Structure 1
Amino acid sequence: MTEPQPPRRGSQATRVTILLVAVLALGSIGAGAVFVAADRSARRDQAQPGGPSVAPGAVRLDAPAAGRQLVFRNMAWGPHHDEVVSVPADHPDGVRTASGLQCLRFHAAAGTGVCLQAERGALQDTYRAVVLDDRLHELRHFPVAGIPTRARVSPSGRLAAWTVFVSGDSYAGTDFSTRTSIVDTRDWNLQDNLETFAVIKDGHPYQAHDVNIWGVTFADDGTFYATLATAGQTYLVRGDLAARTLTTLHQNVECPSLSPDGTRIAYKKRVAGADADAPWRLYVLDLATMTETATAEQRSIDDQAVWSDRSTLVYALPGDFGADLWTVPADGGGTATRLLDAAVAPAFLG
């Protein structure tokens, strides 16, 4: 029988050398990965060459001394990414004044703002709705149940509304659920879920397990409009806060936006033959006659438009920085025109 031989010194030294080389190689790879990640982060935090100019400063939500302002979420790369910024409404390509406040969705009116924010966690993100005063100071905040998607403030500044995705992250299909809330900033009374309101459909009380509400737009401090979805259809509803009712008015309406004079609703409408992932076109509904007018914008709009005045709509479309703002006449004429690069969630103040 052959006796076992002791290990040779040379082979042991070779194994140690190989191990050391492997450790050093892994260390170099790790350091390189950290360097690359840091370099990418630094590049991200630098302003994009040729992009909009942004500078820190004071942003106000009350009647601005400098004239009418356009306030929105800045999408340009750099240190002010996602911050609420302002520009003169008649000079939107000017230098953006950055507030330091970051929002995923934002809207403001009459000195009140609502900011939907992400709170980054180690395991998962959470979200909240923050109600702001005219200097963007927090008045009150509320936890929300999902990903922010829509926000609105009533013309008086008294009411704020928001919609979040409780499940899903797109309106294109049917596999999603939303939660829409309204808060009164006078007494902080919160209507946490508009799905608890009584629904009147086609003149009759209606109940269904699949009712879904989103996209509030305010007429005043008692009346609002929104989208109601049920049984695979969407409807424009008129909401009564005091009576806690939602009354259907018109079919195939999503993300309504009431005109400043209260006579028309801009909205996105699903059109036959469109791509399932991009099914909408931008329309305007006359509330007195229920006559629909298609705007000149031919691309799919997945946004809740705002009215910059009585005759012009502003909305977001995908862009190089995530989103750009476009404008189109509300009467069906004219053409769509780019208003701002790297911007979303606008509000016109003053």
Structure 2
Amino acid sequence: MLTDLGRVGRWLEDTQLRVDQFDEERMEAFLIARHEAGQRWIPGSRAMVPLLTYLRETGIIVAEPASASPLETLLEQYRSWMVRERGLALATVLRYEKTARRFLREQATIEDVFAPAALTGADINAFLLRECDRVSAGSAKGRVAELRSLLRFLYLQGIIASALGTAVPPVSGWRLAGVPPTMTAADIQAVLDGCDRSTAVGVRDYAIMILIARLGLRSIEVARLELPDVDWRAGELIIRGKAGRQDRLPLPAEVGEALVAYLSTGRTSDGARRLFLSCRAPRRPIRADLVGDVVERACRRAGLPAVGPHRLRHALAGELLRKGAGLVAISQVLRHQDLATTALYAKVDLTSLRRVAQAWPGGIR
């Protein structure tokens, strides 16, 4: 919030406005100004609510908050529907809401009049075409799912007369068409060795990365780990995965030793249930994006190109395959629900593929 407060302060100075004039309307103007300036990170409207609340509680802003606009009212209903009826995770709700806000602003507002009932298939196609020009194929596929969710909600609420969700065109892209990027075992070890385990931060970062490198945990799974999830007697680790799924994985000695070293740094002094906490005050559970920062910093220390945590997960699958593990076993370690997802890693086993490859017809190649 302090970072946002600084940005708002500079914007108020540039626009010659007083702090007590900052309200919902000027908050929207601030966000639009950052967007037009080409800023890479722009907070959403909900991220600015704590700032407005604080300014009102301290008496800096004395005016009552303006009544919610029709767009904000509809988005609030959509948010509640996603949580109550669909049971979506908070991160998914925020992503879907962000796309819904942009789509409704651009396609359902005609001459400053909010009219979602007038939406047509042409509006959907126009929005998707713009999205496909600026994002990757994978992100564009995400937009399709997000749009279909919004249009399903609008239809069920009687806001639109037709089930326009069926009019959302799919984005071309072939599953398993690429080769998963990976890393060598030597690179993985170099990244792990780059952690300075003489410091509390280094001990924590090493424990985080070894969970990913040896057990293939996702970032969110690392962030969700709680103290009772480590079953020391059984030598198992409980993983809280997608859609509330829980799995048990064996706890290798190397991983267990790293966790013991981290817990010995005094991390439990505040009584928090989460396993991994921030190292600076206030001590609080880490977020999933911190896991990505930890891996990127470790890569730079090792002199390697910065990669995300999922690259270590790919590397684990490739290493298991090279050591003779079957796809079913790899699928169980990575906790894939569909074996076809694991089959993608067969492409990285070039040695085995050469043994089964057919001769090129018509001569040597």
Q: TM-score normalized by structure 1?
A: 0.24
Larger Rg: 1
